[in-house]
Amino acid sequence: MISDAKNLPESEGEAPAEPIAHAEMAQRELRPPIAASAAARFEQRFGRAPRWIVAAPGRVNIIGEHIDYNDGFVLPMAIERYTVIAAGANDEIRMTNDELQPNSSFDIGHSSLATVFSTATNDEVCIALDSPKRHAVPGHWSNYVAGALAGCIERGMRPGGFQAVIDSNVPVGGGLSSSAALEVASATLVEAMTGRQLEPAEKALLCQKAEHEFAGVPCGIMDQFASVMSRADHLMLLDCRSRHIEHIPLLDPAITVLIVNTNVKHELSGGEYAERRGQCESAAHKLGVASLRDARTPQLQARRQHLEPVEFQRARHAISEIGRTVAAAAALKAGNWPEVGKLMYASHDSLKNDYEVSCEELDLLVDLAREIGADGGVIGSRMTGGGFGGCTVSLVETAKVDSVVERLTGPYREKTGIEPGVLKSRPARGAHTIKD
Ligand code: GLA
């Protein structure tokens, strides 16, 4: 319990994150923690301190890309970037407003209404808690909130009417799962409000369903599991079939996880993700297996003529990437950094050539990282997330990270004319309640 939201301590995993723009790095200390900023915005808008504050992180995937929906292994971690929701019950309005009498008609209409304000877009929506609906504007941020609320309500969790402010420092559209962070923060808020904890896997699945049904994105389970279950200073090896999790320590201060945002997003047709999923499913079907998790390279080679060339390529990526992810987890545990680096580069090549989800900007950053090489301090680098823009993730020697950042961002800026974003992060803590 924290009584004064303005004086929130920087709790574990909630430290101010590295700013996104390289030029802003020096300003880091000046930024307020995002939780305090959410609390202040709530107070400003709704005229009282929030009763609940919850946070859920974005994630970066170290390796195992486009593998969750193939039932394989993925290795993400939460980043020190959070979506925070500060909220208060509608019935507090009556208690704090002298002009309103108890049981006034004001309360009745608001008991089942959520009024939610986003600091990012500066707009407010009202969600009917009896039956949360999709927003009329496709892709609207409130769909992630409404979807998570609907999932909780379906499970018998009944929050009373509330007001909330959403504040976030997870970059949007950068492939760092800002949408999962918003869904998971919303479900965490309902947990705080109702006092009922969901089982973590159930919570993540409820949020994934919100993404499918309210946002229309047929995503896998990685992002929501990472946002719910990540642990500070650990990578999360997730078996997407059994949903078993192994938390692998990443404690070595000599290693830094560096995320560089291309700041481009190529929305080719919007259907690329679903198309890849479909190609993997039809490849699995033609190989006679339930999913590509069950296929092996010799089997794929033997049945090559039964597959469309594109299905063959997609399957080759998935099968090899599952192997790389398991190998990378073992190499990480053994502290075998050169091997981890080799696997990351191989992952990128496979995503670029076989899975065809990279783009020129991502390839440029990975090529630059390769040129800098181990001598310059780069252990390994690859695109991360769904692709077609977004970020690369690199493992870098901490002592050389500033020089690596210069050597990546300078040529990138020069060749593309785009200012890249830079973010360093320790593996962070999953969703949690800050004030309840
Ligand atoms: C998106 C999806 C995830 C996963 C990645 C690719 O982030 O939401 O489920 O499939 O792409 O690894």
Angle at 78 between CA 76 and CA 82, to 5 degrees: 150
> How far apart, in whole angstroms, are the C-alpha atoms of residue 166 and residue 340?
37
Token digits of residue 275: 């198309």
Query: Does the beta carbon of 386 sit less than 6 angstroms from any atom of ligand 1?
Result: yes
Task: Name the closest-CA residue to atom 1, ligand 1.
Answer: 386
Residue 31, pLDDT score: 36
From 223, 349, 363, 375, active-site residue = 223
CA–CA gap between residue 421 and residue 100 (Å, rounded):
48
With a 6 A CB cut-off, is 220 part of the ligand 1 pocket? yes
* Mutation choice for ligand 1 from 60, 172, 212, 219, CB with most ligand atoms inside 8 A: 219
* Contact yes or no for 432/270 (Cβ under 8 A): no
pLDDT of residue 5: 34
The predicted pLDDT at position 61 comes to 98
pLDDT in tens, 243-296: 999 999 999 999 999 999 999 998 754 699 999 999 999 999 999 999 999 999
Q: What pLDDT sits at residue 108?
A: 41
CA 37 / ligand 1 centre spacing (Å): 29
pTM of the model: 0.90
Q: What is the pLDDT of residue 322?
A: 98
Q: In 245-388, where do the E strands start and end?
A: 245-249, 255-265, 378-384
What DSSP character marks residue 396?
Answer: E
216 alpha carbon – ligand 1 mean position (Å): 14
* pLDDT digit string, tens, across residues 81-136: 999 999 999 988 754 445 444 444 444 446 799 999 999 999 999 999 999 999 99
Q: What are phi and psi of 277, to 5 degrees?
A: -55, -45
The alpha helices in 120-268, defined as continuous H runs, are 142-154, 178-194, 200-214, 222-229
Q: Which atom of ligand 1 is nearest to the CA of 74?
A: 12
User: pLDDT exceeding 90 applies to what percent of the chain?
Assistant: 85
Q: What is the pLDDT of residues 283-340, one digit of tens each?
A: 999 999 999 999 999 999 999 999 999 999 999 999 999 999 999 999 999 999 999 9
- C-alpha to C-alpha distance for 33 and 17, rounded to whole angstroms: 8
Mean pLDDT confidence for 391-418: 98
Question: What does the pLDDT look like over 51-68, one tens digit per residue?
Answer: 999 999 999 999 999 999
Tokens 């089997």 sit at which residue?
299
* 354 included as an active-site residue: no
CA pair distance 115, 90, nearest whole angstrom: 9
User: What is the band of 150 on the pLDDT scale with cuts at 50, 70, 90?
Assistant: very high
Q: Does ligand 1 have an atom closer than 6 angstroms to the CB of 71?
A: no
Which whole number is the average pLDDT over 70-89? 98
- What residue's CA is closest to ligand 1, atom 8? 219
Q: Summarize the confidence of residues 35-42 as an average pLDDT.
A: 96
